[in-house]
Amino acid sequence: MLLAMSVMKLLDSILGNATGIFTVVIVLIAVLFNYFDDPDPVKYNSMAEDTKTLEENFRQQNKSCFILGASGETGRMLLQDLLGRNIFSKITLIGRRTLTFEDKANENLVQEVVDFEKLEDYAASFQGHDIGYCCLGTTKAKAGTEGFIRVDHDYVLKSAELAKAGGCAQFHLESSRGADKNSNFLYLKVKGQVEEEIEALGFDRFAIYRPGVLLVDRQESRPAEWLARKFFGAVSAVCSTAMSIPIQAVAKAMVSNTLLQPEQKTEILENKDIASLGKGAGQ
């Protein structure tokens, strides 16, 4: 009995020390990330006007939109937020398959099924929309190098081209923190390239969102992604960081930013900008 109690005390001591060490490590890492964090956002600290007023004014403009990638994590959240705010007279989902929903709020959605390998044949699906949201994306691990480039570059760019030709005035693109056409990392290079090429199309407004690690429990979760999300989730609990963000905040920021009048045609929202716009918006 005494031996068992001694063992229990020893284990409790070890676990206590391990927890303490882990906490200290997280705090130190959070401080380090904070040092390299994005500059404090200036334009997007808060909604300059009352959110409800902005939504009502926008609603009266009777605009329509389309969403690419509504079956993905961000796309689903984006659709949910748009339906909740009810600011568009028509929402069209463009994807490779018809999505099924249980919620009656989705009954009035229009769905266009396209073959992304032959998008030119589906130009009509991209016509007649005022605003486009693109949340398309995959990974090299899931699709291979060629598949990743085809989805994140070719599909995205061609969709933007068809949308512009179809009269779309605004294009909102979910990209990635660190996107850079000159990057040595394929993922960031492709993201940077497609940003630049879409900007060259000349939309009246082009908004680029560059979130960090998306904090979400994916339906298809790989061990490395799970570990990264748990790690950055712990860091975010200690302090705000440019390295991660809840996926709900990204979706809310995209909708909230749609309501605002930008100072320039092309705008890049880094992680802190997205967090500021997405915090409590639309609630």
The C-alpha atoms of residue 48 and residue 66 are separated, in whole angstroms, by 26
The C-alpha atoms of residue 92 and residue 70 are separated, in whole angstroms, by 10
Q: Which of 158, 187, 189, 279 is catalytic?
A: 187
Q: Are 253 and 48 in contact (CB under 8 A)?
A: no
Give the amino acid at 267: E
Q: Does 155 qualify as catalytic in the annotation?
A: no
Q: Are 269 and 210 in contact (CB under 8 A)?
A: yes
Q: Which of 191, 209, 252, 272 is catalytic?
A: 191
Q: Does 191 qualify as catalytic in the annotation?
A: yes
252: nearest Cα among 49, 109, 44:
44
Segments in the chain forming alpha helices (H): 2-35, 51-59, 73-85, 140-149, 156-165, 186-199, 223-238, 247-259, 271-278
In this structure, the number of other CB atoms found within 10 A of the CB of residue 279 comes to 15
Give the amino acid at 50: D
The C-alpha atoms of residue 97 and residue 155 are separated, in whole angstroms, by 15
- Estimate to the nearest angstrom the gap between the alpha carbon of 44 and the chain centroid: 16
Q: Are 210 and 268 in contact (CB under 8 A)?
A: yes
The C-alpha atoms of residue 229 and residue 242 are separated, in whole angstroms, by 14
Q: Active-site residue numbers?
A: 187, 191
